């Protein structure tokens, strides 16, 4: 467009990159309408300039323009900031307050970092976009507002939607027109131009000569990644302008102001994991448990073979590799097998192994075992009751029948102690 240059000069936009020019053209085209606009791009690319252009070229230019950083407002107060609140709506609400949507009626609101909005606030914002209605916090009276919304984000909105952090319907209402600003590394022809502009501005601000880059320094300036984009470039220009006595900046000097210059290479992402590389402690725990399970199964196998054959030496010889796998060192395996020796009297005779032969006796009734278990349980219960009875008697004797003091010493309530006294007929 022919009139794009005056807009750049008015808003201090420097550069001739084709993607940048296209973004400004789209902003100028949508400005006369009232449709919502979503500005996307990395942090530091200058997204705040686009809503200013849209507002200044719209029929709302004489009304209010309010910029809100959604990421800087605490979750507990953001609804009050945007929509206002009634007196007494929450602790500290000593008076009625008008929110940004009420104050900016007829104007434009710029919601920066809109991806940081909490989900309940997203529902309120969706209602404003759909029919211009909102409710103050603590109020049941519906209010109307006529506000143009321009939002901006540096997050991947599709990913945020998939993760349940942003409403899909709100995204489509905000992004009726989407304007993307390119990162600085994709505007290599504009980098030196921007640096010279910043250097000139800081020279005037601090009343000192303008810094100049050598050809080698200019070359490194263009090749650097600039992950912080224009904001980082401006910061570097200001640091050098203030700190360097020599106004001719060499390659070595500039390199000192560029972080990670030595390792400013693309990182290898998504490579194949090695066997021992786990992404979380949970995976490590799973591996340990699986290894333990495998070892237990191996030990079961050895035990079963030993029970069937009764010949420890033969079992040891036939399963030497399995034993070495279970026990990492040879000495440990020998020591572990020491009790399993035919000459060891602790093993008893062949009849001992026949008694332990689970496989042959698995189908036989096990009634006697259950009776025996019940007897043990009954004896244990009797023993516990006897001990409880003795403790209660001693406590009551100690405190001469005072139930409250006895209950405190026993660590139970007086009501529980009274119930126990009735139970044991004390």
- How many Å apart are CA 73 and CA 87, to the nearest integer? 20
Task: Mark whether 58 and 116 lie in a shared domain.
Answer: yes
Q: How many CB atoms lie within 10 A of CB 42?
A: 17
What is the CATH classification number for the domain harbouring 418?
1.10.10
- Is there a contact between 20 and 187 (Cβ–Cβ < 8 Å)? yes
Q: Do 307 and 396 belong to one domain?
A: no
Q: The dihedral of CA 280, 286, 288, 290: what is its sign?
A: negative
Judge whether 19 lies within some domain: yes
Residue 176 in this model has a pLDDT that exceeds 50: yes
Are 9 and 105 found together in one domain? Answer: yes
pLDDT, greater one: 330 or 192: 192
- Residues present in the chain in total: 426
CA distance 185 to 263: 17
Query: What span, in angstroms and rounded, lies between the C-alpha atoms of 85 and 93?
Result: 8
Enter the pTM of the model. Answer: 0.61
Query: Is 165 found in the same domain as 205?
Result: no
What pLDDT, on the 0 to 100 scale, is given for residue 86? 94
Give yes or no: residues 236 and 380 share one domain: no
Residue-range definition of the domain harbouring residue 328: 289-361
Residues whose CB falls within 8 Å of the CB of residue 30, separated by 6 or more in sequence, listed in order:
37, 54, 177
Pair (151, 53) in one structural domain: yes
Lowest mean pLDDT among 41-55, 131-145, 235-249, 373-387: 373-387
Assess whether 104 and 227 both reside in one domain: no
Same domain, 107 and 47: yes
46 and 178 part of one domain: yes
Distances (CA, A) of 103 to 98, 188, 269, 369: 7, 42, 47, 82
% of the chain surpassing 90 pLDDT:
58
Contacts of 296 (CB under 8 A, 6+ apart): none
pLDDT in tens, 110-139: 999 999 999 999 999 999 999 999 999 999
* Within-domain flag for 102: yes
Boundary-marking domain end, from 156, 182, 208: 182
Question: 204 and 152, same structural domain?
Answer: no
Find the mean pLDDT for residues 171-185.
Answer: 96
């Amino acid at each position: 467009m022919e009139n794009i240059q005056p807009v750049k000069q008015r808003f201090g936009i420097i550069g001739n990159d084709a993607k940048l020019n296209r973004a400004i053209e789209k902003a100028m085209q949508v400005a006369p309408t009232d449709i919502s606009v979503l500005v996307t791009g990395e942090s530091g690319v200058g997204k705040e300039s686009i809503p200013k252009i849209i507002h200044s070229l719209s029929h709302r230019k004489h009304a209010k323009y309010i910029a809100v950083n959604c990421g800087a407002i605490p979750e507990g107060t953001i609804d009050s900031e945007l929509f206002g609140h009634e007196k007494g709506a929450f602790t500290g609400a000593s008076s009625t307050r008008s929110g940004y949507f009420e104050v900016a009626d007829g104007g434009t609101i710029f919601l920066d970092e809109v991806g940081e909005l909490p989900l309940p606030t997203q529902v309120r914002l969706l209602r404003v976009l759909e029919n211009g209605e909102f409710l103050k916090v603590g109020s049941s009276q519906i209010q109307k507002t006529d506000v143009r919304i321009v939002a901006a984000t540096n997050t991947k909105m599709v990913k945020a939607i998939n993760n349940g952090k942003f409403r899909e319907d709100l995204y489509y209402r905000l992004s009726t027109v989407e304007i993307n600003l390119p990162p600085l590394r994709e505007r290599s022809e504009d980098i030196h131009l921007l640096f010279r502009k910043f250097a000139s501005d800081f020279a005037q601000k601090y009343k000192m000569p303008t810094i100049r880059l050598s050809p080698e320094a200019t070359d490194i300036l263009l090749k650097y990644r600039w992950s912080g984009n224009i904001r980082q470039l401006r910061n570097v220009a200001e640091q050098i302008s203030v700190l360097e006595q020599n106004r001719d900046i060499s390659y070595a000097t500039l390199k000192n102001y560029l972080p990670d210059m030595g390792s400013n290479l693309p990182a290898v992402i998504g490579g194949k994991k090695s066997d021992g590389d786990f992404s979380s402690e949970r995976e490590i725990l799973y591996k340990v448990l699986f290894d333990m399970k495998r070892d237990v199964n191996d030990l079961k196998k050895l035990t079963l073979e030993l029970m069937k054959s009764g010949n420890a030496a033969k079992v040891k010889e036939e399963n030497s590799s399995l034993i070495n796998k279970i026990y990492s060192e040879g000495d440990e395996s020998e020591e572990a097998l020491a009790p399993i020796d035919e000459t060891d009297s602790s093993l008893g005779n062949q009849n001992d192994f026949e008694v332990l032969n689970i496989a042959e006796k698995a189908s036989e009734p096990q009634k006697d075992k259950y009776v025996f278990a019940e007897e043990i349980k009954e004896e244990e219960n009797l023993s516990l009751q006897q001990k409880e009875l003795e403790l209660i008697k001693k406590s009551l004797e100690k405190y001469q029948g005072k139930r409250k003091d006895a209950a405190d010493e026993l660590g139970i309530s007086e009501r529980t102690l009274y119930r126990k006294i009735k139970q044991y007929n004390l």
